[in-house]
Structure 1
Amino acid sequence: KMLVTKIFSVILVIISIFLLIFSLTYFILPSTMLSRGNKTRLYNIGLPNYEIGESIVRISVFYECLCPDSRNFFQNQLLPTIMKMPENITTDLIPYGKASTEIVNNRTYKFQCQHGPSECRGNKLHGCIVNMIEDNLIQVKIISCMFNEYNMDAELIGQECMERYNIDWTPIKSCADNDEG
């Protein structure tokens, strides 16, 4: 009986120490953020200081132009995030997703896309947009705009979205019509 009481007491002490450390870390001594210019420093007692605001985060996104999950990610996560801090994020947008590629006669490529030929065409247009427009924020804005019309005519909606940002559609279409796309 005494052994059980000792074990119970030890367990109770361990749990109490854990709860004390947890409450100190998350409730009593919370992090404070101080800003100076473009630097933000995170202070937390017992932890090293981290500077944020100077680093660039690279986000690579493999997606499909007709995929509802891709659409959701662009419109509800990527675009709102990059709009808040465009100078801290660079993107690698890869409109390929679950496509497959076949090399025909050792010189041309044939693509098969999960959602059919219209998705392959849309992916080509997206690829040309990414390759021809250097500004990451504009890329994400245009592609998010194109996602506004699900099951869209990629040519029509692409041209409309490009016009919103005063960018000529002709080179994008030409790219997608040729081997470059």
Structure 2
Amino acid sequence: MRSATFVLLFALACVSFAEEEKKLKIGVYYESLCPDSLRFITKQLNPSWSDVSEYVDITFIPFGKSESVKDGEYFRCQHGPEECKGNRIQSCALDALTDQTKEVEFVNCFMTEYNKYSDKDFGEVCIENAGLKVEDVKNCFDSDKGKELQLQAEKDTIAISPKFVPTVVYNEVFDQKLQQDSMTDFKGTACKLIKENHPNAC
């Protein structure tokens, strides 16, 4: 009996692993104060998320056209110091989140709120809405961990050498046409790729 139970559990685990392998990997490379990043996340990604979430493994990389100086002693960002601050806050919050939907909701909230004001706050409302403690995110932000998360974001960004912000990468391979299509029809683009493994999806 134990042997049969083990075989069943093993089979179920294999099915679960196979389903994970079939998920569409999406990497979103963006910046906290980039108007095009804001537009893509709020007008394309977030409204489509509920339709694709079951079939997607998404990763957010908030860095864009930034660069580290002196091994992360400080960073230079395309839209100035406030963008560096926003990127780092997001890195810390995203590192603490384990649920993809909460990640999407947090990024959508943060990008919306952070882009409203010239005097940037810390995105407290979005952090709390995500179920995180503001103090924990601030501790990460002020520590070496915050720096290391941004250094890793830089490495990940350099690896694909994006010419655009945002850049959307599917299954870890950049494709110019998919990039262009995603900016105006993210749902349609993602669903087309999802259907290769999940014909009844979307």
TM-score range, shorter chain: 0.5 to 0.7
CA deviations on 1:47-82 (whole Å, 9 max, x unpaired) are xxxxx9x93111111100000000011111111222
Give yes or no for contact 1:112–1:120 (8 Å, CA) kept in 2. Answer: yes
Alignment of 1:52-63 (within 5 A): 55-63=22-30
The TM-score normalised by the length of structure 1 is 0.63
Distance in structure 2 (CA, Å) of the matches to 1:70 and 1:174:
26
- Of 44, 49, 60 in structure 2, the residue corresponding to residue 82 of structure 1 is 49
What is aligned with 1:170?
135
Give yes or no for contact 1:65–1:95 (8 Å, CA) kept in 2. Answer: yes
Give yes or no for contact 1:102–1:109 (8 Å, CA) kept in 2. Answer: yes
Gaps of 5+ in 2: 1-18, 147-202
Amino acid at match of 1:170: E
Give yes or no for contact 1:56–1:88 (8 Å, CA) kept in 2. Answer: yes
CA deviations on 1:58-113 (whole Å, 9 max, x unpaired) are 11111000000000111111112222232211111111000011225xxx432100
Amino acid at match of 1:159: E
What is aligned with 2:90?
126
- Structure with the larger helix share: 2
Equivalent pairs counted in the alignment come to: 126
Gaps of 5+ in 1: 1-51
Percent identity of paired positions between Structure 1 and Structure 2: 34
Distance in structure 1 (CA, Å) of the matches to 2:131 and 2:91:
19
Higher relative contact order (CA 8 A, sep 6+): 2
Question: RMSD between aligned alpha carbons?
Answer: 2.2
SS in 2 for 1:94: strand
What is aligned with 2:175?
none
Alignment of 1:37-52 (within 5 A): none
Query: Between Structure 1 and Structure 2, whose CA radius of gyration is higher?
Result: 1
**Runs of 4+ in structure 1 over 3 Å off:** 151-156
What is aligned with 1:180?
145
* Larger displacement relative to structure 2 (124-133 or 81-90): 81-90
Distance in structure 2 (CA, Å) of the matches to 1:167 and 1:117:
24
The Cα of 1:154 is off from its aligned counterpart by 4.8
The TM-score normalised by the length of structure 2 is 0.57
Check if 1:72 corresponds to 2:72. Answer: no
